[in-house]
Structure 1
Amino acid sequence: MKNMSTNELEEILQQEKTIQLIDVRETDEYAVGHIKQAKNLPLSELSERTDELDAGRPLHVICLSGGRSMNASTYLEQAGFDVTNVDGGMMSWEGDVTK
């Protein structure tokens, strides 16, 4: 599994506005503040909603601190996705957030 820092993610987001980024925190956590381009797909719903993701495009996964996103990334990688886990999660994110 690939990993990247939140700083690396921010650089990618500045260059490419259409990356496939999922936030696997629960809906209430996501509502408090999230990265604008992130789609909320809670880890608790991931196995039922995997078909909402584009398997033909790289996927970046973030959560609060990096634990849930690592679990989600492992699952998605086993399902055939090209996945990158965002280390440190939203606790390390220094960019803008949307509510």
Structure 2
Amino acid sequence: MKTLGTHNYYVYILTNKTKTVLYTGVTNDLKNRLYWHQNPEAIDKNFTTKYKCFYLVYFEQFSDIETAIKREKQIKGWTRIKKENLIKEFNPTWKFLNDEV
């Protein structure tokens, strides 16, 4: 068990190669989650596999899972334009950040 205050949770946004689809998720292991988005099981029929959302363009780090989940739900409820503005503030060129985590 981790010591209090050492937990890491991430809210993240993925897109496809042409940046036409956005997916928001939450995880406690961003690097591993990205791996599974990029290497889905053959039987997976989930959203990120269907729309090829494998490219990380945004993430936030939290130490509390409840706060992370609340933030994920907040972002999921936003319009596309509001999500794009959030990404642009964090990552102005929409660079794929997969290799940086």
Instruction: Please indicate the TM-score interval, normalised by the length of the shorter structure.
Output: under 0.3
Higher Rg? 2
Q: TM-score, normalised by structure 1?
A: 0.28
